[in-house]
Amino acid sequence: MIMLFTDFGLNGPYVGQMQAAIYGVNPTARVINLFANAPGFNPRASAYLLAAYVDYVPAATVFLAVIDPGVGSAQRQPVVVSVEDRYFVGPDNGLFDVLGTRARSAAKTEILWRPANLSASFHGRDLFAPIAAHLDQRTVPGDWLGPVQPFIVDDVAADLYEVIYVDDYGNAMTGVRASELPPAAVIGVNGQALNRARTFADVLPGQAFWYENSNGLMELAVNCGSAAKQLSLQIGTKVEVLPK
């Protein structure tokens, strides 16, 4: 399957146009929209979010991941990244760095192919989507990609102690893997101290807490409420482990 991961939103034509470009190459493709509201213009935060969801999709999945504030410029190269048994197509702007750092094996190759009509501002549709469609079928012509290079990242922290995503309930995911925290860790955020709970029903309605979400991230929540509103959270809000 092809998994979409973008900051495009669903209220415009962009996701639909990318899907149409995929189907133009492969009419039988299976396309899943994982995120259309990844952190906007923010490859760094999106990198930690993407990494948390990779293990929950089948092997051989192709991720079409486009968080691309430098689109059309020389700031980044278009690449295909292979991470163990999955493929990632998108801009080389840090979006795949967390994956590459944590993987047992990873490699990268530059996309050399250019379509006859390449918009300066929509590489997701014109460049990345056709590559993803061909890659899903394993039909990428040999001269479309450059030499395979080792994926080397030097400056990515193991975890990001910030809010990286806020869902429609107001729950706030962080870039911290819960497995890296002490079981009884107390989390500080905006002057509040949050204790750990296993799930929402383990605390009273209106109480704020943190827990390990279904993708392994430390998430801030309020039972029957919005952590984003109650704790004044947004993408980029810092969190910390408080000393005992």
pLDDT tens string 22-52:
999 999 999 999 999 999 999 999 999 999 9
Confidence (pTM): 0.96
Q: Are 177 and 193 spatial neighbours (Cβ–Cβ below 8 Å)?
A: no
pLDDT at site 154: 74
In which element (H, E) is residue 187 found?
strand 187-189
Give the span between the Cα atoms of 138 and 189, in whole angstroms.
Answer: 46
Give the span between the Cα atoms of 2 and 32, in whole angstroms.
Answer: 6
pLDDT at site 153: 81
Residue-range domains of the chain with CATH: 2-150 (3.40.50.10790), 160-241 (2.40.30.90)
pLDDT tens string 4-22:
999 999 999 999 999 999 9
